[in-house]
Structure 1
């Protein structure tokens, strides 16, 4: 079963495809800034009983022409994958008739080293009949971003830095710089990037650090005015007003994450979320919304 961490490793490229021109610098691949990036259907099935689905498929238009970029998230070494990747490349080329590149995104060095191999699928007497060499992004070539200013300048790359360095000793500094950067961008985008970061961190200890930063340090993107009033000390009336605003922010975050993950929210569930005034309950729902497969799972374990 495909997990949330796997999904996040390639969904970041769907949400911010413009980052490729910058990320490719780490791979020493010359690529001009794209004038157009199109998200294409990921279903590469040709024979009905056999389903072949690439994680993400993008069409780039650059100064030198067009090409397809297949993005695969890989969490561990899998001997069955190279033949599947070769199929994706051949079928996408046959379908769209333009050059194709495979990019594999890994969150640990062993998997990245394995994925970087040149794979020979032809026989020993004619190995050149079919060979494949993916581009690979992993801990060794994705930059460690611990400077908030650098993270703010390229938030998608900062998210990828967190995902691919989840097990590195510097992960706390990476997450703090990313949290600070999210303060500076559009609130809706910040929610999506925050969700993708948590998904990409999987079950690592860094995921708990990130949840703490989101619930305490950022307080779910409270306005600067709210933060200033907290620092200066508030009257009871102001505190109640801000608490109400935070409750609404929690509810909005839950609904935004479910919407970003294409999870349907029926009217009764929507009302339950928006009418809840218990922030502890809302925090629990928010955490579950990042991994739930249905809205009913968000409420799992609640006392009704």
Structure 2
């Protein structure tokens, strides 16, 4: 899921500004150019640093604000050192305010990422701006999904176990310019598979009335869960495939 979630920000950097301004209430300058820049940072004499995506707001050679977008799928203690270093290195490089935007597929990771990060540098505490499932709307209207396919893709990430979310997203692709739609089909497949996998891990239980659940740790339980998880993934992909066929036949 890591790579698909980075692509919307790299494809349309303005999306990061919209997320921070409209979803998190961060005051950012409006009406200025927004562009993707190289993500190679350095705070000599250390090794090079590579955050996921770096975006600047304002003139490219004299930006007024910089945004680091980081996709965080799980809690990682190493990131509590890396994220403050990313922000400090970019601040030194560009001499402008820096915001770290963390995208989290799960609520638990979002809560963890939102905690202030204290550093050994006196007075320097980094608080990231965090987008988790609770910040992402359930997009089931194809017109709304077409108006902002990046947000619709994130809705698939957070709520893709719901078939109407997938169907609205894929239906919206039929309304996009031809050169943009193909990459979003790949988002739908990959994000839907991941969403179904996450949902399965959270809520796995045997179908009622079919059989008695095997005891935890038994060979049957260990064998059943991976098989059922693959069934859930295939089911998510079939939802996307059905929605694609509906789009192609003009029924959405």
* TM-score range for the pair, normalised by the shorter chain length: 0.7 to 0.9
Distance 2:134 2:195 in 1: 19
Contact kept, 8 Å, 2:56 with 2:66, in 1: the verdict is yes
Q: Which moved more, 1:147-156 or 1:98-107?
A: 147-156
Distance 1:163 1:142 in 2: 9
Instruction: Indicate the residue corresponding to 1:139 in structure 2.
Output: 133
Distance 2:29 2:193 in 1: 33
Instruction: Indicate the residue corresponding to 2:148 in structure 1.
Output: 154
CA-based RMSD = 2.6
Instruction: Indicate the residue corresponding to 1:13 in structure 2.
Output: 9
Instruction: Indicate the residue corresponding to 1:68 in structure 2.
Output: 66
Distance 1:120 1:45 in 2: 21
Change (3 A) 1:108 1:34: farther
Instruction: Indicate the residue corresponding to 2:123 in structure 1.
Output: 129
Instruction: Indicate the residue corresponding to 2:163 in structure 1.
Output: 172
Distance 2:134 2:8 in 1: 19
Change (3 A) 1:89 1:21: closer
Q: Which moved more, 1:199-208 or 1:11-20?
A: 199-208
Report the structure, 1 or 2, having the larger helix content: 1
Contact kept, 8 Å, 2:193 with 2:236, in 1: the verdict is no
Specify every segment of 5 or more residues in structure 2 that has no aligned partner in the other structure, as ranges.
198-232
Distance 2:171 2:70 in 1: 29
User: 1:187 offset after TM fit, Å?
Assistant: 2.1
Instruction: Indicate the residue corresponding to 2:183 in structure 1.
Output: 192
Distance 2:71 2:39 in 1: 13
Q: Which moved more, 1:196-205 or 1:13-22?
A: 196-205
Contact kept, 8 Å, 1:69 with 1:102, in 2: the verdict is yes
Distance 1:173 1:33 in 2: 33
Q: Residues 218-257 of structure 1: CA distance to partner in whole angstroms, max 9, x if unpaired? A: 24964xxxx37xx9xxxxxxxxxxxxxxxxxxxxxxxxxx
Secondary structure at 2:179 match in 1: helix
User: 1:186 offset after TM fit, Å?
Assistant: 1.2
Instruction: Indicate the residue corresponding to 1:54 in structure 2.
Output: 51
Change (3 A) 1:44 1:217: same
TM-score by length of 2: 0.75
Distance 1:97 1:79 in 2: 28
Change (3 A) 1:16 1:212: farther
User: 1:201 offset after TM fit, Å?
Assistant: 4.0
User: 1:100 offset after TM fit, Å?
Assistant: 0.7
- The equivalent position to 1:44 in structure 2, one of 22, 41, 51, is 41
User: 1:210 offset after TM fit, Å?
Assistant: 4.9
Change (3 A) 1:211 1:32: farther
TM-score by length of 1: 0.63
Contact kept, 8 Å, 1:44 with 1:92, in 2: the verdict is yes
- The equivalent position to 1:28 in structure 2, one of 19, 25, 29, is 25
Q: Which structure has the bigger radius of gyration? A: 1
